[in-house]
Every structure is written in structure tokens, then in C-alpha cells.
Amino acid sequence: MQVRNPPFRYLTLGLDMAAKRAVLVGGGTIAARKAAALREAGMELVIIAPTLAPLLAGWASTGELTWHRRFWQTGDTCGAALVIAATSNREVNRQVAFEARNQGIPVNVSDRPDEGTCRFPALLHRGSLELAISTEGKSPAAAVAVRDTLAEIIGEEYGEMLELLALVREKLLTLGMHEAYNVQIVKKLMEHGLADLLREGRQSEAETMIKTTLSLDPGP
């Protein structure tokens, strides 16, 4: 059954894009910003543009991306896992998006988001913790503002906490505890101020809290 007028058109989903090819048409500051996010995800970057922003030029000089020093041509998106249309030419962006969509390739269009099939959320990283904030294109600036507000609340201690909680999860799974029990333990540790201890640099007390919580809780 087809869902009509879904409340959220864009599915928030984490995909492993490492070593997959991203074709970016355009070499300006917008392309550079999006290329930086793709680079962090381990994607193979291919830039098609007559000139490059300094950041992209630096990566090209060290072989960290492939640069085709020319304007876009029909067929340039073939074989890509992701396409970014980020030129200053409206017609070129439209053609790039059309070609990508016809091949079923996710495409992001910088100057006309609705022509694309994917969007870039505002991201906040704290170690392995990643928060993504999106307004579905209604106001990217608002997404950034919300991200910056959260950044003041969620500090680097959350990344440290995540590493400790990963060890807790591994131990519980080894003991044969189910995931629901793991959720209970994590909730209890957070309610007891685990993040606060890490923010204050009280690492040993944080580890003691974890050991105590695990030993006192009888489990399911």
C-alpha cells in the first residue's frame, strides 16, 4: 500500500558509503563543504569543475580526490553512488539532477533542493556519537542553529561516555543479557550522572559507578 503525503519525505538512515564513488559537479565553497562530509565518510571523491576552491585544490594536489578540470558532460554521473550538483549554473544543476535521478542515483542539488533526492543534515559529532538535525529543506540555517545549541549542552564527555557504555554492552551480551536489560542499565547510569563525572574529569569515579551498577543490579 502506498503512503500518500508522508509526514517525513526523507528517511533518516545511516549508510556505509566507505570506498564508494561520489561525483561532485562544481568546485566552489558549497561543493567543498559537502565534499568534506563525504570525505569523512570515506567516499572516493570525483570533482568535475574548471576551477577548485582552495580546500579541494589542496586535496587534489595530494591525490585525495580525482579532479576532471572541465565542465560537466552527459554521462559523468554513471557509476556513482552519490551525486552532488553544486555549480553556479542553474541549467547545469538541473541536467545533472535529471541524469542522476534517471539512473536511480541519490542526488543533492545545492540551489534547488527539491530537484534532488537527498539532503545533508547539520551534524554534531562527539566521538562516535553523531546527531543529525534536518528541517527537510525548510530552513537549513535553523538546523545549524539547533545543532549549535545542542553543542553547548552535549559536550565531548558524551563521546567518552559512549566508549564506556560500549564496553558495558559488550559485557552484558557476553553474559547473555538481552538488549532491553542493556537499555535499563544505560538509563540508570545516565540518571546517576555518568556524563557529569566524565565532564569533570572524574574518570575513576565514573568507572566505579559502572562497576557498582552492574554488580548491584540482579538483571532480568
Is the pLDDT reported for residue 1 higher than 60?
no
The count of other CB atoms within 10 Å of the CB of residue 147 is: 16
Q: How far is CA 164 from CA 38, 41, 127, 195, in A?
A: 28, 24, 12, 11
Per-residue model confidence as pLDDT tens digits over 41-79: 999 999 999 999 999 999 999 999 999 999 999 999 999
pLDDT, average across residues 87-116: 96
More confident residue, 219 or 66: 66
pLDDT, average across residues 71-90: 97
Is the pLDDT reported for residue 218 higher than 50?
no
Q: Are 30 and 7 in contact (CB under 8 A)?
A: no
Q: Show Cβ contacts of residue 91 under 8 Å, excluding neighbours closer than 6 positions.
A: none
pLDDT, average across residues 195-217: 89
Per CATH, the homologous superfamily of domain 21-120 is: NAD(P)-binding Rossmann-like Domain (3.40.50.720)
The pTM for the full model equals: 0.82
Per-residue model confidence as pLDDT tens digits over 126-163: 999 999 999 887 888 999 999 999 999 999 999 999 99
Residue 112 is placed in which grid cell? 534547488
* pLDDT of amino acid 3: 56
User: Across the chain, what does the average pLDDT equal?
Assistant: 92
